[in-house]
Amino acid sequence: MKVRVNSLATVVNGLGSNYANRLSIAVLPALLSLLSPDLAWAGGGEDDGAHHLISSIGISILAATIMAFIGHFAKQPLLLAYIAAGVAIGPEMGFSLVHSKADIAVIAEIGLILLLFMIGLEIDMKKLKESGKALIMSGVFQFILCVLLGLGFFAILGYTIGGGSYDLLYLAVCCALSSTAIVVKLLYSKFELDTLAGRITLGVLVFQDIWAIVVLGIQPNLANPDILQILWSFGKGGILVGMSLLISKYILPHLFKSIAKLPELVLVASLGWCFFICGAANFFGLSVEMGALIAGVAISTFPYNLDVIAKVISIRDFFVTLFFVALGMQIPNPINDLSILAIAGVAALFVIISRFLSVYPILYFLKNGNRVSLLASINLANMSEFSLVIASLGLTAGHIGGNILSVIIFVFVLTSIVTTYMIKYSHPLQAAIGKFLPKLGFKDIASSVEQKAVEDHKEIALLGFFRVASSLVRELQDMKAEDGELLDKIVVVDFNPNVHTKLQAIGVKAIYGDISHMDTLHHAGIHDAKIVISTIPDTILVGTD
């Protein structure tokens, strides 16, 4: 039986600091101005481009809102509603309400940057190490196996390499990568990023990003690969990682400790760090998205990461919405060439099947069991946004024709739609497929790794660390001689860094975070606690709802 001392809803809704809302208002214009310096906030009617940018954003958000309402009442994933909004207002199949797709694409890139920054913050290197061989083997060999399968499959369809054309190679490589943006967004909304299957999925996506960087490094010299150029690309990546880790180890801890009592500054400093590393990545000629991921990982061990995640979500969602709307605008009109749509349909089916042929066997033979192996395969059964970048650059370089780019765009859209439902209903789907696997000789295996990876949720959660909480912990310390495990059953959520240090010293788990944000509470595992106690004095809660 679960006990609730004080209403959790009252605490969440009533504390009322509204930091995220205020910061959204403050940060959004700043980010927009960075992207479009000519955007004059004080009137500036001379720049037609600025007006087009604002108009495009406004129309996109309005269309996304309308489609989201329709999707919500129809009980369909919002992600698909955003893509549909892009189709409706775009120039290909819609009403051509937005002409400057380039403006939206630039803004949408911030969504990917913030998304990957949050992924980095979520990456717990200790937990990734617990996944061990399963993560490394699947991360390394999934891409290689999928490329080999793709080469064979598309060769059967009649595609070749030679004569300056690399259609076969591009199709195989693009179909081997999975979408970080879609997968992480869907798993995050289901709170499954920290499950064993979620961690393996995330690890494979990180490896795929590395593979994508290798491809981008080779691409300019595809006809005559330059080994030195490829090694230099790896070297630049190593320099960026090393620089980030050194700064995060020797400089950032002192900076964050000095501002930890001001949650607004923690968020602003975190975003500043993110865009600083993105700028450094761009300077080295690397992907800014990869820079965002590195920035997140570099500070993921800080006690403030959950609080930053909870506050960045509202800003990130604004830009990610534009990303999917922009994607919808780029979908070609299939009426122009129905054969391309047919090829894309077959290729999309191949992408889904290839994940089960590559990811599932690796995880199964590493004794992860049918459940984890199938869930990871389902999560990865789509095409990556990096594939669109690779294909676009291939078209510019003359490696492929426009028809191949159209096929890849359609495959991305089709797999995004199908796997949105697959991930939403992943557990029933996994159970249905799992019934047939023993008949094929794949008997289920009890996964010892999965048992070890069960989250260490605490039975008692203290919201805030005020006098009541301090007295309770002191009493439990006195009782420790009788029951040494009592302190191990407690988690405290508070954004006072001194409290965090004090509790760590006595062996109590402390999480830095603002309890007025529901995401902070979810990440802290409050939903699994048997007892939740609000220790916030009435004097602080006076005047709140």
State the pLDDT at residue 512.
Answer: 64
Distance separating alpha carbons of residues 449 and 445, to the nearest angstrom = 11
Cα distances from 362 to residues 141, 358, 495, in angstroms, run 8, 7, 42
Cβ(150)–Cβ(175) below 8 Å: yes
Distance separating alpha carbons of residues 301 and 495, to the nearest angstrom = 16
State the pLDDT at residue 265.
Answer: 82
Distance separating alpha carbons of residues 490 and 493, to the nearest angstrom = 10
Of the candidates 198, 145, 206, 210, the residue with the CA atom closest to the CA atom of residue 175 = 145
Write out the H or E segment, with its range, that includes residue 4: strand 3-5
Superfamily of domain 455-541: NAD(P)-binding Rossmann-like Domain (3.40.50.720)
Of the candidates 309, 306, 239, the residue with the CA atom closest to the CA atom of residue 525 = 306
State the pLDDT at residue 21.
Answer: 45
The amino acid present at 72, given as its one-letter code, is: H
In Å, the largest CA–CA distance within the chain is 80
Residue 442 burial by Cβ neighbours in a 10 Å radius (0-12, 13-18, 19+): middle
Distance separating alpha carbons of residues 415 and 294, to the nearest angstrom = 27
- List of residues 6+ apart from 7 with CB closer than 8 A: 534
CATH 3.40.50.720 domain position(s) in the chain: 455-541
| pLDDT profile of the chain (545 residues), mean per 10 | 35 38 44 43 49 81 93 82 88 81 70 76 65 73 93 90 79 92 82 79 84 76 71 80 88 82 79 90 81 83 70 74 80 80 94 94 83 91 86 82 87 89 91 84 58 57 77 73 66 71 77 65 71 73 51
Assign a CATH topology to domain 101-448.
Na+/H+ antiporter like fold (1.20.1530)
State the pLDDT at residue 180.
Answer: 81
CATH 1.20.1530.20 domain position(s) in the chain: 101-448
Cα distances from 535 to residues 9, 355, 471, 502, 508, in angstroms, run 14, 48, 10, 17, 16
Cβ(387)–Cβ(408) below 8 Å: yes
Q: pTM of this prediction?
A: 0.65
First CA to last CA across the chain, in angstroms? 27
The amino acid present at 448, given as its one-letter code, is: S
* Helix/strand/coil for 284: coil
